[in-house]
Structure 1
Amino acid sequence: MKSTVLLALTTAAAGVMATGALAQTAWPERTINVIIGASPGGDTDFNARTMARYFEEITGTGMVITNMPGGGATIATSAVREADPDGYTMLFGHTGHLIVTEVSGLADYGIDEFEICCIPAIDQGAVFVASAASELTSVADVTAREPGSVTFGTEFGGYSHLQGLIFQEGTGAEMTIVDTGSASEKIASLLGGRIDVAGIAYGAVQDYVEAGQMVVLGQPNEERNPLLGDVPTFAEQDVDFVMNNPYIIAFPDGTDPEIVAKMGEVMAQIAEVPEYAEDLEQGFKQPVAFLPQDEAMTRLNEIRDAYMPYREALQAAR
């Protein structure tokens, strides 16, 4: 069944490409280096590797995932930005890597200095969780605490830092925001009782929630992601906090537009494969989502405009 679906999709795509300008560029002809600004095992790494597996099945060409964590993903984005624009170096990141770093001043560049291909997926699996030791079980519990008594773990200047700032604004809570580092370090700090609350992918903490070691406070989606089970949105709790995180496929500035468009075509095919949807659900409770180039740029510019008012607060924490 899987090979039949992939063959049908590949044949259909080949027919479309044969009638247009995309057929003029022979790509891909060799392995593509996909650079990500995250460590192995997290949600970004998972999405990149899942995409790469189906890319190879459809095109017959492999992708190598290169993890370049650190610097708020600026090591990775800089590597792609400075790479040869031949179509064989690609960034798989998200808005934290290409928008929040610009807003926070971690980088002096943003989406305008890349060839944005598409939004291949949208992280709708993020939740806010509290450690069991904190005895926090709801947003109301957080707002009822004395100012500064709730500790929120984040990575300064990054996406989760912005999550904390927007959550505070929406709830009126005053938390102490501390730099704990990566997702795995946040989990360790929650389990050790060193922080009270963090924003993190539900798939990464589900086992701890089910074991009673953590409590989910809510999901920052406009509507419930049904894959998260009975987890309320913050809007349901009268909190103005909607914030999900689109992933981004981007190439170095100057990459042939036909190559960028071809990658978008392949990603659109991947998004239609049922097994791909199953993989996303099992991995990080993530529904399939895809936005082509024009829609992706509109969405990303809207997000950048929404985040810019937090520029001073993010930069002050650095």
Structure 2
Amino acid sequence: MKHSYTAIVARSFIAGLLLVGWGSATATSFPERTIQMVVGFPGGQSTDLAARQIAKGMSDILKESVIVLNQPGAGGGISHRTVKIAAPDGYTLVMGSTGTLAINPSLYSNLPYDPLEDFEPIVLATATPHVLFVSGKSPINNLKELVAYAKANPGIVAYGSAGSGTTGHIAMELLKKETDIDMLHIPYKGSPAMVNGVIGGDVIVGFEPISTLIAMQESGLVKFLGIGTLTRHPGFPELTTLAEQGLPKLEVVPWTAILAPKGTPAPIIEKLNIVINEVLKDPELVAEYNRNGRSILGGSSSDAKNHLEREHARWAEAVKISGSKVD
């Protein structure tokens, strides 16, 4: 049976209208059950903490539970694969980070997901500058002294990271290259273990989000050698930048973003974006983030998509310069 071109176009148009109508109706009733937000790092890490704060706010607004599921491993890759293959219905989300979304694609040879093709970006969430830190008992007080110590002990000094492929790992490899020092890399299973390793003297130094270290710095457990912002942080004006200390291009300010599986209906993405932006505007949350040196981002899903593309390219270059690779 032959069908006229006009008839085919008409049917396609009607089908499109039905699809849009279905998506709108779905978004109106969404959610009708618990939403899972998957995080690729252990509890207590900065990405996990941000996810739990946002999940709580979402639960309050949506009147449905939003729970955080920790799936650490493979530099966050396990969690992203879980969400990649989940049903695209808005009930399984992932809290991604600079490491999982911008660094891993260039670092890992067989990454089980494509950050730019396998997900629908919903919103940018947070940003937190890293600080270079040592134990409070360390004789090292700044970048110059760290470099001198490492050069006096080549191949013996070790640094810790929260895992291979994390922002702290790649940033330290860049630092090594820029300062021409040789340090061993000890990857830990998450930030808490790495921080304990630095405090206990198992490793000399590490990069970590400032928000998780403020109380430890105030109590003398750790010392800050410099912050990874290009200009001084308004919340910590006395803390010198690594740029001031001789690394003008080293910017270490990782971010987080929330994404859904590819194919999640646009109306659901839009609803989640609106809700999360509302959470991020909460005055108490904003005040807490300001106290802890963190920034709230927010914005549209298009903003998130464009940011991911830019950061993907920027960190690909950083990984190349660092010479790092994980098979």
- In the superposition, the TM-score normalised over structure 2's length comes to 0.82
Structure 2 stretches of 5 or more lacking a match? Answer: 1-19
One-letter amino acid matched to 2:144? A
**Does the CA-based 8 Å contact 1:91-1:251 persist in structure 2?**
yes
Give the equivalent residue in structure 1 for 2:16. Answer: none
**Does the CA-based 8 Å contact 1:208-1:214 persist in structure 2?**
yes
Following superposition, the deviation at residue 38 of structure 1 comes to 1.4
Give the equivalent residue in structure 2 for 1:5. Answer: none
In the alignment, does 2:143 pair up with 1:143?
Answer: no
Give the equivalent residue in structure 2 for 1:257. Answer: 266
Q: Where do 1:235-274 residues align within 5 Å? A: 235-239=243-247, 240-274=249-283
**Does the CA-based 8 Å contact 2:101-2:312 persist in structure 1?**
no
Q: 155, 162, 171: which one pairs with 2:170?
A: 162
CA distance in 1, matches of 2:211, 2:72: 20
CA distance in 2, matches of 1:23, 1:269: 20
Following superposition, the deviation at residue 130 of structure 1 comes to 1.3
One-letter amino acid matched to 2:142? S
Q: 271, 274, 294: which one pairs with 2:302?
A: 294
Q: Give the aligned CA root-mean-square deviation in angstroms.
A: 2.3
Q: Where do 1:200-215 residues align within 5 Å? A: 200-215=208-223
User: If you compute each CA radius of gyration, which structure gives the higher value, 1 or 2?
Assistant: 2
Aligned in 2, Cα 1:134/1:257: closer, same or farther, shift over 3 Å? same
**What whole-Å deviation, never above 9, does each CA across 1:25-80 have from its counterpart, x for those lacking one?**
22223221111111112211111111112112222222011111122111111110
Moved >6 Å (runs of 4+): none
In the alignment, does 2:88 pair up with 1:82?
Answer: no
Give the equivalent residue in structure 2 for 1:131. Answer: 135
Give the equivalent residue in structure 1 for 2:114. Answer: 110
Following superposition, the deviation at residue 82 of structure 1 comes to 0.7
Q: 173, 177, 196: which one pairs with 2:181?
A: 173
**Does the CA-based 8 Å contact 1:35-1:66 persist in structure 2?**
yes
In the alignment, does 2:163 pair up with 1:153?
Answer: no
Give the equivalent residue in structure 1 for 2:37. Answer: 34
One-letter amino acid matched to 2:95? F
CA distance in 1, matches of 2:157, 2:239: 21
CA distance in 1, matches of 2:221, 2:238: 18
**What whole-Å deviation, never above 9, does each CA across 1:207-261 have from its counterpart, x for those lacking one?**
3322333210111123333334622221222312112111010001111011112
Structure 1 stretches of 5 or more lacking a match? Answer: 1-19
Helix, strand or coil: the match of 1:241?
A: coil
In the alignment, does 2:324 pair up with 1:314?
Answer: yes
CA distance in 1, matches of 2:105, 2:122: 19
Give the equivalent residue in structure 2 for 1:3. Answer: none
Helix, strand or coil: the match of 2:295?
A: coil
**What whole-Å deviation, never above 9, does each CA across 1:128-158 have from its counterpart, x for those lacking one?**
1012444211011122231435321122233
**What whole-Å deviation, never above 9, does each CA across 1:6-42 have from its counterpart, x for those lacking one?**
xxxxxxxxxxxxxx99854222232211111111122
